[in-house]
């Protein structure tokens, strides 16, 4: 283990929307039973993945509830869970995050999701345009970061207003869990420069990823901040290149042209700039799926979000990861179908060819809360005194 310049941080994925052996087919599908998701998390924990991404949205099990259930049955694993600024208040979300951080021993990371699908947002009661959602997220994170820093917060904005907001039970991690954000639009990149510690991109050819990194760095530099970078890929790694590409073809072998056309039309209707970039890589055509050496866009024929996979022998995939690492990509959020078996293949075949960064150990002890039960109930009324702590 090392913390050198070429070290990478591998993450895995919790398939809380379902899993299976083929894309675009119910054949061999696996449900979201907790016992299975627990297997995936525990495998990632013991295999050396630093953390796991838990997806969010109406097609997924709730990421916060799952992380709360998975934390006690894992030891080192970190949980990248979603905060959706339009759906919850800053203080309520901060309390959730601080509590989960405390009970997990400092293993929480926050994925800020402003949302790219207006239909899904409407179902959650959010009726804002794409750019207004990011403006709201900016106000949300302004309040969030002040709360995590301690003290009371007053804030009046276009979308968010709070008075005397205060986080009485602080998180384990000083300043709160690290903030992650994925997004390719100008408002998303602006938001990353102002507030985010880790910017994530879906897997694109290196030249496109380098351009995004440069843009985020410029925005962060203007704010006097530093941002780290990650990429989200699926992965198909095998003992030989031929075996890996054969598996890629098998994965989409149940997908017919009608299914592809229907999926592409649905995905094209979203407001997500990142989704549009994914679709443009292949245009829905099977003959345009290799978009860069060892980078395959076949997953994006039928799946929304991250649509590319690293495909090849362990040596080839490791070489490609090192190429992205040289651009500044440090964290690689990976997934494969089915997720349990592919977690083992990825760790056993690929990890020996990479310099895996040592995970940052959680704090040895959890500090007590700033207010106990008596303080919370009676401190402002005159019975018991409100417990105090560092502000």
Residue 391 lies in a domain: no
Instruction: Examine residue 34 and say whether the peptide bond preceding it is cis (omega within 30 degrees of 0).
Output: no
Inter-CA distances, 283 with 123, 169, 275, 280, 333, Å = 29, 49, 12, 5, 24
More confident residue, 118 or 225: 225
Residue 289 lies in a domain: yes
- What is the chain's Cα-based Rg? 21
**Mean pLDDT across 89-100:** 97
Phi, psi of 215 (to 5 degrees): -65, -45
Give the model's confidence band at 121: pLDDT under 50 very low, under 70 low, under 90 confident, else very high: confident
Residue 385 lies in a domain: no
Taking all residues of the chain, what is their mean pLDDT, rounded to a whole number? 90
Q: How many angstroms separate the CA atoms of 239 and 250, rounded? A: 16
Give the model's confidence band at 359: pLDDT under 50 very low, under 70 low, under 90 confident, else very high: low
Provide the domain limits for residue 322.
9-378
Q: What is the pLDDT of residue 366?
A: 41
Q: What is the pLDDT of residue 90?
A: 97
Q: What is the pLDDT of residue 120?
A: 80
Q: How far apart are the first and last CA of the chain?
A: 37
Residue 1 lies in a domain: no
Query: Is the pLDDT at 263 greater than 90, yes or no?
Result: yes
Residue 146 lies in a domain: yes
* Cβ neighbour number for residue 7 with a 10 Å cutoff: 15
CATH number of the domain bearing residue 73? 3.20.20.30
Residue 388 lies in a domain: no
Give the model's confidence band at 358: pLDDT under 50 very low, under 70 low, under 90 confident, else very high: confident
Residue 292 lies in a domain: yes
Q: What is the pLDDT of residue 122?
A: 85
Residue matched to tokens 């407001």:
271
Q: What is the pLDDT of residue 386?
A: 27
Residue 383 lies in a domain: no
Query: Is the pLDDT at 15 greater than 80, yes or no?
Result: yes
pTM of the model: 0.90
Q: What is the pLDDT of residue 297?
A: 97
Number of independent structural domains in the chain: 1
And the tokens for 390?
């560092």
369-374 own/partner pairs: CB under 8 Å, 24+ apart: 369/168, 369/169, 369/170, 370/168, 370/169, 370/170, 371/168, 371/169
């Amino acid at each position: 283990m090392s913390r050198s310049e070429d070290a990478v941080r591998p993450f895995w994925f919790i398939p809380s929307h379902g899993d299976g052996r083929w894309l675009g087919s119910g054949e061999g599908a696996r449900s979201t039973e907790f016992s299975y998701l627990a297997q995936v998390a525990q495998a990632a924990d013991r295999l050396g993945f630093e953390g796991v991404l838990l997806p969010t949205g109406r097609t997924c099990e709730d990421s916060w509830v799952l992380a709360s259930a998975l934390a006690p049955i894992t030891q080192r694993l970190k949980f990248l869970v979603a905060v959706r600024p339009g759906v919850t208040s800053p203080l309520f979300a901060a309390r959730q995050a601080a509590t989960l951080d405390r009970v997990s021993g400092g293993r929480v990371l926050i994925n800020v999701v402003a949302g790219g699908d207006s239909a899904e947002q409407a179902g959650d009661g959010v009726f804002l345009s794409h750019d207004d959602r990011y403006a709201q997220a900016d106000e949300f994170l302004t309040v969030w970061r002040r709360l995590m820093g301690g003290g009371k917060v007053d804030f009046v904005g276009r979308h968010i207003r709070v008075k005397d907001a205060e986080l009485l039970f602080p998180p384990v991690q000083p300043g709160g869990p690290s903030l992650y954000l994925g997004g390719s639009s100008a408002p998303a990149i602006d938001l990353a420069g102002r507030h985010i510690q880790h910017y994530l991109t879906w897997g694109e050819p290196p030249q496109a990823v380098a351009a995004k990194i440069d843009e985020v760095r410029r925005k962060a530099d203007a704010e006097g901040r530093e941002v780290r970078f990650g990429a989200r890929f699926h992965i198909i790694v095998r003992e030989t290149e031929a075996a890996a590409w054969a598996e890629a073809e098998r994965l989409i072998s149940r997908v017919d042209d009608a299914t592809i056309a229907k999926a592409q039309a649905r995905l094209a209707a979203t407001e997500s700039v990142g989704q549009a970039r994914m679709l443009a890589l292949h245009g829905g055509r099977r003959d345009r799926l290799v978009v860069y050496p060892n980078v395959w866009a076949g997953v994006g024929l039928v799946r929304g979000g991250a649509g590319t996979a690293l495909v090849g022998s362990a040596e080839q995939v490791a070489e490609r990861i090192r190429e992205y690492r040289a651009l500044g990509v440090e964290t690689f959020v990976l997934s494969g179908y089915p997720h349990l078996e592919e977690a083992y293949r990825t760790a056993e075949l690929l990890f020996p060819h990479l310099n895996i960064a040592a995970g940052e150990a959680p704090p040895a002890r959890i500090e007590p809360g700033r207010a106990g039960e008596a303080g919370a109930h009676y401190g402002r009324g005159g019975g018991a005194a409100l417990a105090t702590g560092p502000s």
